[in-house]
Chain A
Amino acid sequence: MIKFSKEDVEKLIKLAIDNKIFIEGPILKMIDTDDDSLFETYVKDAIENDQENRRKRLEITKQIQTQNTQLTDNAKENGRLMQELKGAVEKAQEAKENALNDLDVVQRKSQFKLIDRIVTVALWIIMGVGIITTVLYAIALFNSTIDTTLLGSTWSNLFGILLTNSFSIIGTIMGVKYASEASPKKINNE
């Protein structure tokens, strides 16, 4: 047990009366009041004061603990939601890329189809012109009244040009067909 001198006891009591300052903490449980009734009252008041302060602090600390727990739970929930959101964004990004790829493929296909059609029409026109001119030349040949010298060289030149162009066009058609069939596979592989 701890004993205080009379002087110290007086100082402590004065401090309590004037400024309401008391000794605090476990030391209060070890004070020997030496049957001094005034000091006994002081120690009793100091213990009550100390316990009241501790009760308040305990309540506040518990509230902070509860809030901390809630904050931790909220942080965990936020983390989970962020993870979900990240996954959703990644999926959306993937879907967007797929859609863009599909759009690109569709655009290319329609372009190739258009070229294919133009080239086919051009080939038909060439073949038509060739057939018509050949028929006209044949008629002129069988009809002895018409001079075919000029017509013959013209038909020969025209047929040469048509043949050259038609092979060129056939080559283009084959190229376009190959491209339109190979491109989607190539894109998918990428």
Chain B
Amino acid sequence: MQMIKSILLVDDETLFHLVFDDACNILNISLSLESVSSADAAEVLFKKYVNDPTDKPECVFVDLNIVGSSFDGIELVRRINFQYGNGVVIGIISSSCDQIEMAKAELAGAQFWIVKSDDIEPRLEQFRDDYDGYKNRTGIFKVYK
């Protein structure tokens, strides 16, 4: 199983950036991780990747409710998938377990939904094991609770 080359985390909670970075490193999930705090900042990056995909991440984790953004995580997933060209493994990472939101996210093109909690590592481990399926688009939408 290969490590993910680069991950982009979109989450307004800066402390979670640290948690996610350390957890990914300890679990050997990724080689590099970039974090942004708003959906708008992530959109700017993806606009840039349309012309220059050099630094385009391999996988994107998006928070559901990104405080300080002009749109939510599901809308960002939709824009990345349908507006800025697909090509990344993308999903939601949120403390919410709302079934309606999950259905919306799936419709927007999210491939997974990871429920945030203090004990995030086991879920990330499961995600790591399923990652190849997401990458070659054979894996179905899955919720990691």
- Chain B residues near A30 (CB-CB < 8 A): 31
Interface size class of A (residues with CB under 8 A): 10 to 19
Chain B residues bordering chain A, tally (CB within 8 A):
14
A-contacting residues, B22-56, CB 8 Å: 22-23, 25-26, 28, 30-32
> Are the CB atoms of A29 and B3 closer together than 8 Å?
yes
Smallest Cβ distance from B75 to chain A, in angstroms?
A: 25
Is B16 in contact with chain A by the CB < 8 A criterion? Answer: yes
- Chain B residues near A68 (CB-CB < 8 A): 15
User: With A26-B32, A30-B31 given, is the CB distance from A62 to B19 under 8 Å?
Assistant: yes
Contact partner, B19, options A25, A51, A58, Cβ 8 Å: A58
Contact partner, A26, options B16, B18, B25, Cβ 8 Å: B25
Measured CA separation A58–B22 after assembly (Å): 6
> Are the CB atoms of A62 and B26 closer together than 8 Å?
no
B-contacting residues, A113-165, CB 8 Å: none
> Are the CB atoms of B15 and A65 closer together than 8 Å?
yes
Chain B positions near chain A (C-beta within 8 angstroms): 3, 15-16, 18-19, 22-23, 25-26, 28, 30-32, 118
> Are the CB atoms of B16 and A51 closer together than 8 Å?
no
Given A50-B25, A55-B22, 10 extra CB contacts under 8 A: A25-B25, A26-B32, A51-B25, A57-B18, A57-B22, A61-B18, A62-B118, A64-B15, A66-B118, A68-B15
Contact bitstring A56-85, B, C-beta under 8 A = 1, else 0: 011001101110100000000000000000
